[in-house]
């Protein structure tokens, strides 16, 4: 995409990621034909969608002369893990502010999954209570690092700003090339929608390409109206960053909050079912916080006949499988029979 060539970018992700059929779940649902865009397979540090954003963010940090990156997320943040991996690869220090959860998790939540990988990747972690002002916490830590002689570059939660979202503006041309031989465009692209950068970037990319494919975000942390406003605002900031004269059509911004449950990071029955069905029918590992809830949303749409059985739907797998290890209650010990084998 020519519009992006003037922005610095460093190579971090293994691209293009596969686009593959999901026949087991498709057959179980009796249609539509579900295809998965495997952005969990981007490689570095366990992979995930944030690496596409970090290619632009880290290049900008290096251009600004930074020696340290500073970001934030939850204790089991996929974004923090990938930022720590990118920093390690590029020789930068990494500090992360981790917001404690609003629920009472198992001990594994604090020591396993992404939390363990953050430490393994060399990130310096700073904990704040649930509900803290994350922007204020980042600003305070940034001042402290500067006073210590560091040159920090602040990356927002999820890498979701006009710089990071360029990774998903770029994603659109990759997908369009992969579906070039399909008889029609997919009926929809479905994805988890949290910090909004991935969905906003895709919407901008489709607008620039002149392609009309519905993009449906499944909210993981807030109500539809609030999420749609967040997506629209960021999309228009991306367009301004690109020098585009115009704004995103409001009708193209779609977010559904039926899978949020009690809140961000809280397990739900629908999420647990989605995780188990994807794993047992297609060997596809989803995560409890983002892709599990997004896939639950897709399953719900299919059961409500929102798509024709003959249509194709693209599910964007944004990664996060390491977080499964922090939620062992999803598959309790003894819930799956383990039969002994005779030695005779």
Domain boundary assignment for the chain: 2-48+161-330, 50-159
Q: Is 176 exposed, middle or buried (0-12, 13-18, 19+ CB in 10 A)?
A: middle
CATH topology of domain 2-48+161-330: Rossmann fold (3.40.50)
Rounded to whole angstroms, the Cα distance separating 285 from 16 reads 19
What is the DSSP secondary structure assignment for residue 210, as one 8-state letter?
A: T
Identical fold, 2-48+161-330 and 50-159: yes
Task: Give the per-residue pLDDT at 104.
Answer: 82
Q: Mind listing the pLDDT tens digit for each residue in 69-97?
A: 999 999 999 999 999 999 999 999 999 99
Are 51 and 296 spatial neighbours (Cβ–Cβ below 8 Å)?
Answer: no
Distance CA 76, CA 111 (A): 10
Question: DSSP class of residue 308?
Answer: -
Render 133-165 in DSSP notation, one character per residue. Answer: -HHHHHHHHHHHHHHTT--EEE--GGG-STTTT
pTM above the 0.75 mark?
Answer: yes
Rounded to whole angstroms, how far apart are CA atoms 344 and 341? 9
Residues known to be catalytic: 77
d(CA 53, CA 337): 42
Helix, strand, coil in percent for the chain, rounding step 5: 45, 15, 40
Alpha helices for the chain (secondary structure H): 23-29, 50-63, 78-90, 108-111, 113-120, 134-147, 166-178, 197-209, 224-242, 269-282, 291-303
pLDDT recorded at residue 330: 87
For residue range 186-226, list pLDDT tens digits in order. 999 999 999 999 999 999 999 999 999 999 999 999 999 99
Domain covering 50-159 assigned CATH 3.40.50.1100 in the classification: yes
Q: What angle do CA 83, 86, 89 make, to 5 degrees?
A: 150
Q: Tokens 């981007």, residue?
A: 42
Give pLDDT, residue 343.
67
Token pair belonging to 271: 């999420």
Unique residue bearing structure tokens 């977010």: 255
**DSSP bridge partners of 19:** 37
Closest among 53, 106, 44, 133 to 81, alpha carbons compared: 44
| Contact status, residue 157 vs residue 134, Cβ threshold 8 Å | yes
The CB density around residue 185, as the number of other CB atoms within 10 Å, is 17
How would DSSP label each residue in 240-293? HHHT-SS---GGG-EEE-TT-TTSTT---HHHHHHHHHHHHHH-----TTTHHH
Stretches where the chain sits below pLDDT 70 are 1, 333-338, 342-344
pLDDT tens column, 168-186 = 999 999 999 999 999 999 9
C-alpha span between 78 and 292 (Å, rounded): 14
| Residue 211 to residue 179: CA distance in whole angstroms | 13
């Amino acid at each position: 995409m020519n519009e992006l060539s003037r922005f610095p970018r460093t190579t971090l992700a293994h691209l293009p990621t596969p686009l593959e059929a999901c026949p087991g779940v498709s057959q179980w649902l009796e249609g539509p034909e579900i295809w998965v865009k495997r952005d969990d397979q981007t490689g570095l540090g366990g992979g995930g969608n944030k690496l596409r954003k970090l290619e632009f963010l880290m290049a900008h940090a290096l251009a600004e002369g930074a020696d340290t990156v500073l970001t934030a997320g939850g204790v089991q943040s996929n974004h923090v893990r990938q930022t720590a991996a990118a920093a390690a690869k590029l020789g930068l220090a990494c500090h992360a502010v981790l917001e404690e959860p609003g629920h009472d998790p198992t001990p594994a939540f604090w020591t396993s999954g992404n939390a363990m990988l953050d430490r393994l990747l060399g990130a310096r972690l700073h904990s704040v209570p649930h509900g803290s002002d994350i922007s204020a916490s980042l600003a305070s830590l940034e001042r402290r690092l500067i006073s210590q002689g560091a040159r920090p570059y602040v990356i927002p939660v999820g890498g979701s700003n006009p710089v990071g979202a360029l990774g998903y503006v770029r994603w659109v041309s990759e997908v369009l090339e992969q579906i070039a031989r399909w008889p029609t465009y997919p009926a929809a692209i479905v994805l988890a929608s949290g910090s909004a950068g991935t969905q906003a970037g895709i919407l901008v990319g489709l607008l620039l390409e002149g392609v009309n494919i519905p993009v449906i975000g499944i909210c993981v942390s807030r109500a539809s109206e609030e999420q749609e406003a967040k997506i629209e605002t960021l999309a228009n900031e991306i367009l301004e960053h690109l020098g585009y004269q115009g704004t995103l059509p409001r009708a193209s911004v779609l977010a559904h909050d039926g899978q949020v449950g009690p809140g961000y990071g809280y397990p739900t029955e629908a999420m647990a079912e989605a995780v188990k069905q994807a794993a047992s029918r297609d060997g596809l590992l989803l995560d409890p916080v983002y892709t599990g809830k997004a896939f639950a949303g897709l399953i719900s749409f299919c059961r409500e006949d929102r798509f024709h059985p003959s249509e194709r739907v693209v599910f964007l797998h944004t990664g996060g499988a390491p977080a499964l290890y922090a939620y062992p209650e999803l598959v309790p010990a003894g819930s799956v029979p383990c039969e002994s084998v005779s030695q005779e």
